[in-house]
Structure 1
Amino acid sequence: MKRYLPLALILGISLSASAQDKKIEKKIDSVLKLMTLDEKIGQLNQYTGDRDATGPITNNPNKLKDIRDGKLGSMLNVRGAKETREVQEVAMQSRMKIPLIFGLDVIHGYRVTFPIPLAEAASWDLAEIENGARVAARETAASGVHWTFAPMVDIARDPRWGRVMEGAGEDTYLGSKIAFARVKGFQGKGLGNLDAVMACAKHFAAYGAAIAGRDYNAVDMSEHTLWETYLPPFKAAVDAGAATFMNSFNTLNGIPATGSRYLQRDILKGQWKYQGFVVSDWGSIGEMIAHGYAKDKEQAAELAIKAGSDMDMESRSYLPGLAKLVADKKVPIALIDDAVRRVLRKKFELGLFDDPYRFSDVARQEKEINSAENRKASLTMAEKSIVLLKNEKEILPLSKNLKKIAVIGPLGKSEKDMQGFWSIAWEKDNLISLYQGLKNKVGNQTELLYAKGCELADSSKAGFAEAVAVAKQADVVVMAVGEAFDMSGEAKSRANIHIPGVQEDLIKAIQATGKPVVVLVMAGRPLIFNWTADNVSAIMYTWWLGSEAGNAMANVLYGNYNPSGKLPMTFPRDEGQIPLYYNYLSTGRPAKNDKDTRYRSAYLDMPNSPKFAFGYGLSYTTFDYTDLAVSKTQIKPDEKITVSFTLKNTGKYAGEEVVQLYLQDKFASVVRPVKELKDFQKVMLKAGESKTITFTIDKEKLSFYNQQLKWGAEAGDFKLMIGTASNNIKLEKDFTLL
């Protein structure tokens, strides 16, 4: 049954051409008529260049010949205005002279590196997130690259999975908003503009739920969870106009996503009427053999093209497999034509048929990349991404009158690690370490001391004595601990997500000196550091912040920027709690508190609660939530509720607060989460300033997928909750949907 479906169902093509540019469609028709079958299949084939490889490379000394013979539609990992022009010139020697699309993993910046995506998500600042993608797009497009394999919009609730660093965290609502913003940032005012690149929503779908947090692993979930939790960010990417999608490595309920008709034909190209094209992940078509779903590359090609995978990234399955499959009448030519049409459409939209070299302009490249304006945008994003976890004794912001500051820890002078995983390597890069950032900030007014203390991941404590001696000389100690840049990312799953090595022992040794200590944790995922969290007075989570990391950290340490970040993922106390997330379902025997364990859904050896909750993050100032007002407590389905309250900055610093609105459907035909984020606002207030904040609740915010996977709202009782974090609700009110 999985092999033989009606052609109309297989194609999943919208019959309406009203949304298409009719001129482009006519041009596509004319090109298709002139192409041979081999040339058509060539458009569905993608090879990598010889640098920046992100997967196993198949040795092929004949790449240029294949391009000249029309056997290639795209290349990845070819970058630079000069380099892309040279390769494109080879494509122009082919019979059809169809230009190549150049793609690259531009995940958090091209020449100027921005904070990792998970860090950007901690900003909850959609405008800045979009601007970060905009800057990356300008630099990328100026370097001859047309296509980025971003954003990753996978919902991820397991920090053991290394690729959490590449996404927006655990929440569907926040993840959907960020997916939309990033697509808009990459694509700007539209494809064809010289400052826009094609976005690629990945990985379709449910990759973030890999079993045991192990990369490339299987995924098994209910249809309800798929639709409610994991698909909405992809739908947001479609709504934002994402030019392309990438399928995922994982199986979903026993079917490799690359070979899933349900995901690619029924949902994406069918129900969502998606007109872009789908590229496989690196080698994922051929990997269906290892999954045990295809016996050889020929069958893998058949399964993939029928399922809706339009372009084969580096598995070499479509060439020569598809031609034989068409000849044997196992694959209809209409399927090939549909896939080629989707690829050609993007080439026309990019304007490559008019000028194949229009993005390969050396002068524009030199002007655009690594500009002062772009670095300033990276600095702003980095400042907004920092999360203040603790500031009990108000050690922060640091006094400008300090005589000596000790920078201690294996990441104190690190530059490369500030860039983070999934970043592009550059010669003579200008990455700002914490030490350099503090030096830039204090100049000659404050003496900076330094001791490494230990390495990132080994067991030696040989450097502790020096670090303690240095700490004793200082007025305050700033510690830089966490992960190396290559400890989180693709194929970087970890069963143990405690701070690596003896770094926490180093923190204990420095804390014992009695000096004021500020700990900065630099990482690509939520880490576990219970002793530090319980005993150190000042802690900031600084992730990997990119090119301007050190300057951003210094600005926040000294109060030039008041931290406003909020956690986009729950931080567990222990790996045994994972997966752990705020919007869980209640059980029939819920624990009332952390000590309520007798015949309850609880652990005997630790609390259910996290160390740091989703949405949590402090400021140097304080905020009060008062005067909740609700326009009505009963509404009909076509009505709305207006919710307002007063937010006041009650501290002595100007600052931003991320106000979070959560809802709970108390009783429904499907068990609903204990709370769900449904809206948020980021509000700047001067010290002492008050502002009325307003939210609107309508039927859409109350809707969910029922047992039949139908979207809608049900009559019943609801609770609205407004707070500063998912576990810190300040205001609440019940209301009823009639």
Structure 2
Amino acid sequence: MKLYKLAVISLIVLVSCQSQKTENKDSEMDMFISKLMNEMTIQEKIGQLNLVTPGGGILTGSVVSSDVEAKIRNGNVGGIFGVYGPEKVRQAQKLAVEESRLKIPMLFGSDVIHGYKTTFPIPLGMACSWDMERIEQAAQIAAKEATADGIFWNFSPMVDISRDPRWGRISEGSGEDPYLGSQIAKAMVNGYQQNDVSASNTMMATVKHFALYGAAEAGRDYNSVDMSRLKMYNEYLPAYKAAIDAGAGCVMSSFNDVDGIPASGNKWLLSDLLRGEWNFDGFVVSDYTSVNEMIAHGLGDLQAVSALALNAGLDMDMVGEGFLTTLEKSLKEGKVSEENINTACRRVLEAKYKLGLFDDPYRYIDESRPQKDILTKENRAAARETAAHSFVLLKNNKQVLPLKKSGKVALVGPLADSQNNMLGTWAPTGDHSEAITVIKGFNNVIGNDVEVLYAKGANIVDDTQYAEKINVFGPKVNIDKRSPEQMIREAVAAAKKADVIVAVVGEASEMSGESASRSEITIPECQKKLIRELSKTGKPLVLVIMSGRPLAISEENELADAILFTWHPGVEAGNAIADVVFGDCNPSGKLAATFPRNVGQIPLYYAIRNTGRPQAGETFTKFKSNYLDVSNSPLFPFGYGLSYTQFAYSNLQMSSTKLTSEGAIQVSVDVKNTGNFDGEEVIQLYIRDVVASITRPMKELKGFKKEMILKGESKTVSFEISEKDLRFYNSQLHFDSEPGEFEVFIGGNSDQLLKASFILEK
């Protein structure tokens, strides 16, 4: 007992010392910044709120800043993006710390969305790995590479929940579910920041887009959002909060309105919720010119919307320069207060202090690092493995996959040899010339006993006007000089000579992403024609589908023998695809977003709330909630994904059928690998609140584990359920649980589940 007391005392002393150190550090920071701000003019304080991009570097928007060098020298720039490389970053930072009056260093930011130079799968693809260790590792590698090029502030992670695959930026997030999205948000923040943003190989994370951007009406980018507070708090806000609780240093406001007020000028959102309820202590930056865009929303001229944004709690204006050009006038006219300017300035300076810039403004500049830290063999290997684990096997009739490393393979399709489309959307820091195409990946993996017969077969799209829109950031779609009919004939001829067909089809990388919404989310018709003709050959047909979103692929699902959905896999795309197609890696991905049968089902997601007239099963019944022309069910449900092996679930056990506020229930299930391959399975736990004060979802994801299970092996997988897992925001927006009956489900996707029940007693 004495030893126990000593241990407790030691722990208390340690915690007290750490708390004291934190308080001392905060006190030192406050003193330093207060002293600095006492020396600053109002113009210099406003200057810290100005984020610019000079253009000519990493392009992420349509507007660039002018006279950047002069503004830096005059103390009118707080941060800059689009500049990278030790030499260029040093030159720009030198202007601030050696040629401006107060020598305040600048922030250097960028959109490092799914890797820096070593590009990983698009975020939606990585989400389908359900592997938090790999996702955190990807963010850590991205931070190491970006900081090697002098960039230490990242406009990532994007944690917007989206249930509408028409929206192009679904590619940049983690799908439809708040629980999975929250786990990924934490993993990415931890990967970028590593609990120490002052380290030379970590970068400050920015949570975006705050808030609700993924719920844009009609799936059209930048569009209005109208949502109840209940839906906000229970479904769309949790992932943002998870990232903030993980310590993210910055938040970016979104383009959309929230309750009729654009997010960049929404005081309830940026001050009451973010800082008041969630205690966020970092700074808030606008999205690209989103302050200026409040004019088009109908909220006044540039001076009016800039004042609105500052008063709402926005600290930094990205590119628009409304703060820089109007705040001083608004201060004189009493439309903003000096206190609000000081508060915003302090938040920006605090971020610089935490990053260590006042100790060493050149701390992230080391000319030796790019060569040794960027696109290394180890980084590429990690990207390859992560990509392979993100692929979702949607269909595999008669075990067509994996292919044998012998015989003849017809490799066809417009994406089979398309280097410019491997990285995926939102890879502005990536280098397409480094990407491994599918045909190259096949040749790297197959050995000497496989003959590959290649034919393009089709364009990605045939419409030149459509192609022009897609090619805005460079050639993603090349319209072949051959006719569509000639290309199909060539592909069919190759297919007839082969033992199996692998058709690599889908979207160009810029058919998803920002400003890339689609009203139809099918595979383009020219590729559909190719698939139809290939299916007529009678040869086994494997579709490898690349996309930045869930697609409506009902026809393809009927025609193909196997479908491997690879998203856009990144710099190691071809190698990773070959690894999976030829069985060097067993696919283990599970869908992070539901696949609809057609666009008319959208929005479609698993966590639906029941209506008063629910349809029972798939049989149409008049006066029930259903369609005349299609069933309610999705083509592929959330959490779905096959393996080259099979898993059998049995023996769902609960340690108790009663749960108290202080206790916990252990839930377990036996999972057996009944097939012929070792494989990973994502075991998913869902809960339903059967009776509540508000209508609750039919089921909600509350836990998951990814387990390697050897062939023939059986594992018992356990979860713990506590009262905290049952809490939700009620009609009064109180976060609490309610006593009563709950159902618990465990299985391999959101549709095929074992079920038990328990009672919560309070």
Q: Tell me if both proteins adopt one fold, taking TM over 0.5 as the criterion.
A: yes
Structure 1 residue 85: Cα displacement: 0.6
Which of 722, 726, 733 is equivalent to 2:756? 733
Matched residue SS, 1:680: strand
Matched residue SS, 1:217: coil
Which of 409, 417, 421 is equivalent to 2:421? 417
Equivalence for 2:341:
336
Structure 1 residue 19: Cα displacement: 9.2
Residue pair 1:186, 1:199 contacting (<8 A) in 2 also? yes
- Once superposed, what is the RMSD of the aligned Cα atoms? 1.2
Relative distance call for 1:84 and 1:59 in structure 2 (3 A) is: closer
Residue pair 1:454, 1:462 contacting (<8 A) in 2 also? no
Equivalence for 1:154:
160
| Distance in 2, Cα, partners of 1:332 & 1:59 | 27
Which of 353, 356, 359 is equivalent to 1:354? 359
TM-superposition CA deviations, 1:48-82 (whole Å, max 9, x none): 1212222221451x110000000000011111111
Relative distance call for 1:175 and 1:425 in structure 2 (3 A) is: closer
| Distance in 2, Cα, partners of 1:20 & 1:612 | 52
| Distance in 1, Cα, partners of 2:297 & 2:123 | 30
| Distance in 1, Cα, partners of 2:608 & 2:432 | 47
Structure 1 residue 501: Cα displacement: 3.0
Asked whether 1:449 is paired with 2:434, we answer no
Which of 622, 625, 630 is equivalent to 1:598? 622
Asked whether 1:320 is paired with 2:325, we answer yes
What is the one-letter code of the residue matched to 1:29? Answer: S
Equivalence for 1:311:
316
Range with greater deviation from structure 2 (602-611 or 495-504): 495-504
| Distance in 2, Cα, partners of 1:611 & 1:239 | 36
Residue pair 1:388, 1:541 contacting (<8 A) in 2 also? yes
Equivalence for 1:107:
113
What is the one-letter code of the residue matched to 2:759? Answer: T
| Distance in 2, Cα, partners of 1:581 & 1:378 | 29
Equivalence for 2:688:
664
Relative distance call for 1:692 and 1:427 in structure 2 (3 A) is: closer
| Distance in 2, Cα, partners of 1:525 & 1:609 | 19
Matched residue SS, 1:377: helix
Matches within 5 A, 1:186-585: 186-293=192-299, 295-400=300-405, 402-424=406-428, 429-458=433-462, 460-585=484-609
Structure 1 residue 195: Cα displacement: 0.7
Residue pair 2:659, 2:722 contacting (<8 A) in 1 also? no
Residue pair 2:669, 2:746 contacting (<8 A) in 1 also? no
Residue pair 2:419, 2:432 contacting (<8 A) in 1 also? no
Matched residue SS, 2:343: helix
Q: Give the number of the structure whose residues are more often helix, by fraction.
A: 2
Structure 1 residue 330: Cα displacement: 2.0
TM-superposition CA deviations, 1:418-441 (whole Å, max 9, x none): 111111355673111111000001
| Distance in 1, Cα, partners of 2:261 & 2:367 | 45
Which of 163, 170, 178 is equivalent to 1:164? 170
State the percentage of identical aligned residues. Answer: 49
| Distance in 2, Cα, partners of 1:614 & 1:19 | 48
Equivalence for 1:132:
138
Equivalence for 1:639:
663
Asked whether 1:706 is paired with 2:706, we answer no
Range with greater deviation from structure 2 (125-134 or 591-600): 591-600
Matched residue SS, 1:139: helix
| Distance in 1, Cα, partners of 2:491 & 2:64 | 48
TM-superposition CA deviations, 1:680-736 (whole Å, max 9, x none): 00010111111111101111111111110100110111110001100111x210111
Asked whether 1:95 is paired with 2:101, we answer yes
Equivalence for 1:10:
none
Structure 1 residue 638: Cα displacement: 1.8
Residue pair 1:587, 1:601 contacting (<8 A) in 2 also? yes
TM-superposition CA deviations, 1:498-524 (whole Å, max 9, x none): 001321221111111111111000010
Structure 1 residue 32: Cα displacement: 0.7
| Distance in 2, Cα, partners of 1:573 & 1:450 | 31
Equivalence for 1:629:
653
Matched residue SS, 2:433: coil
| Distance in 2, Cα, partners of 1:674 & 1:462 | 51
Residue pair 2:453, 2:498 contacting (<8 A) in 1 also? yes
| Distance in 1, Cα, partners of 2:599 & 2:439 | 32
What is the one-letter code of the residue matched to 2:287? Answer: D
Residue pair 1:259, 1:303 contacting (<8 A) in 2 also? yes
Matched residue SS, 1:691: strand
Matched residue SS, 2:486: coil
Equivalence for 1:11:
none
Relative distance call for 1:426 and 1:229 in structure 2 (3 A) is: closer
What is the one-letter code of the residue matched to 2:536? Answer: A
Residue pair 1:504, 1:529 contacting (<8 A) in 2 also? no
Gap runs ≥5 in structure 2: 1-21, 464-483
Structure 1 residue 626: Cα displacement: 1.4
Which of 75, 79, 89 is equivalent to 1:74? 79
Equivalence for 2:185:
179
Relative distance call for 1:597 and 1:253 in structure 2 (3 A) is: farther
Q: Tell me the number of residue pairs that the alignment of Structure 1 and Structure 2 aligns.
A: 718
What is the one-letter code of the residue matched to 2:706? Answer: K
What is the one-letter code of the residue matched to 1:608? Answer: N
Asked whether 1:718 is paired with 2:724, we answer no
What is the one-letter code of the residue matched to 2:270? Answer: Q
What is the one-letter code of the residue matched to 1:314? Answer: V
Structure 1 residue 25: Cα displacement: 1.6
| Distance in 1, Cα, partners of 2:323 & 2:552 | 45
Range with greater deviation from structure 2 (634-643 or 263-272): 634-643
Residue pair 1:663, 1:678 contacting (<8 A) in 2 also? yes
| Distance in 1, Cα, partners of 2:486 & 2:323 | 56
What is the one-letter code of the residue matched to 1:487? Answer: M
Structure 1 residue 273: Cα displacement: 1.1
What is the one-letter code of the residue matched to 1:48? Answer: T
What is the one-letter code of the residue matched to 2:455? Answer: A
Structure 1 residue 301: Cα displacement: 1.0
What is the one-letter code of the residue matched to 1:687? Answer: K
Gap runs ≥5 in structure 1: 1-16
| Distance in 2, Cα, partners of 1:158 & 1:386 | 21
